[in-house]
Amino acid sequence: MQLTILGCYGPYANHGNACSGYLLRGLDNHSLMLDCGSGVLSQIPDAFPLDKLDGLILSHLHADHCADALTLPHLLQFAEWNQGRDPLPLLLPDGPENLASYFFSNPWYDAMAFDEYQEFIIKHWHITCMEVRHPVPTYAVRIWHEAEPGFAFVYTGDTNIHPPLVQLCMNADFLLADAAILLSEWSEGYPHMSASHAGGLASFAKVKRLMLTHLRPLADPQIYLAEAGKLFLNVEIAKPRMFINMSTAR
């Protein structure tokens, strides 16, 4: 399984970059997009085969995670490769209602609401989810692909510390985790984990590889890397336009 970082900043991106957006690509070249925040569509490589896009998952409906999903239907409407195709599968929370209603009523999406008690299948992708701690309904996801059933990928979305998340992450091969702040900035009521908490989560869950994301664009990534690295050694920082062959994590 491969991962392309389309955007990794929050709650805004600096010049030429994008907020949260990630592409998972399976061994059959089919792909799944995770989040589609402001600026993400402009970061999709020209050579990327969008006709292989199987679906989109929105962890939550904050602009830095969903803004470009509001305009993605126009791409689907005018793209020659999309003519005659079924609506794009979309998995998302059912709130806040003012934004969710747009996605559930848009004819270019086949929208489904997250349900912690259901496994979702989008083409050959299998998705389980867990609601996490954020000011709006937000879900972490665990994903595997039928072509590589032994490989598990987890994305936390945006969340403060949430002990049940350890179980969703348990023994995952790759964990993409919210690490928006440093431990010195963290409080119980804050909407994000710190880099230290992300490292602790990876350690407790016995994951194989950790990547920190959702950093502020002016933050020094080395400080975050050092803080998480005190608790988990195999850690790295997401960077714009980064390409990772995650299967090497095993």
Cα–Cα distance measured from residue 87 to residue 223, given in angstroms and rounded to the nearest whole number: 43
Distances (CA, A) of 225 to 112, 160, 193, 231, 236: 36, 18, 14, 10, 7
Cα–Cα distance measured from residue 59 to residue 22, given in angstroms and rounded to the nearest whole number: 11
Res 188 pLDDT > 90: yes
The pLDDT tens digits of the residues spanning 63-118 come to 999 999 999 999 999 998 889 999 999 999 999 999 999 999 999 999 999 999 99
Task: Tell me how crowded residue 137 is: count the other CB atoms within 10 A of its CB.
Answer: 18
The pLDDT tens digits of the residues spanning 63-77 come to 999 999 999 999 999
Helices (H), the chain: 63-66, 72-78, 97-105, 165-169, 195-204, 221-229
The pLDDT tens digits of the residues spanning 151-166 come to 999 999 999 999 999 9
Quickly state the pLDDT bin for 250 (edges 50, 70, 90). Answer: very low
Cα–Cα distance measured from residue 223 to residue 215, given in angstroms and rounded to the nearest whole number: 11
The arithmetic mean of pLDDT across residues 203-208, rounded, is 98
Cα–Cα distance measured from residue 178 to residue 194, given in angstroms and rounded to the nearest whole number: 8
Res 187 pLDDT > 70: yes
Q: What is the pLDDT of residue 47?
A: 81
Q: What is the pLDDT of residue 46?
A: 85
* AA identity, residue 9: Y
Cα–Cα distance measured from residue 122 to residue 119, given in angstroms and rounded to the nearest whole number: 10
The pLDDT tens digits of the residues spanning 209-246 come to 999 999 999 999 999 999 999 999 999 999 999 999 98
Structural domains in the chain, sorted by start:
2-249 (3.60.15.10)
The pLDDT tens digits of the residues spanning 24-40 come to 999 778 999 999 999 99
How many residues does the structure list for the chain? 250
Res 249 pLDDT > 70: no
Q: Using alpha carbons, select from 108, 85, 104, 106 the residue that is nearest to residue 96.
A: 104
Q: Using alpha carbons, select from 204, 208, 101, 201 the residue that is nearest to residue 153.
A: 208
* AA identity, residue 46: D
Lookup: tokens for 215? 């950093």
The end-to-end CA distance of the chain, in Å, is: 11
- Residue 23: what are its φ and ψ, rounded to 5°? -115, 120
Q: What is the pLDDT of residue 248?
A: 59
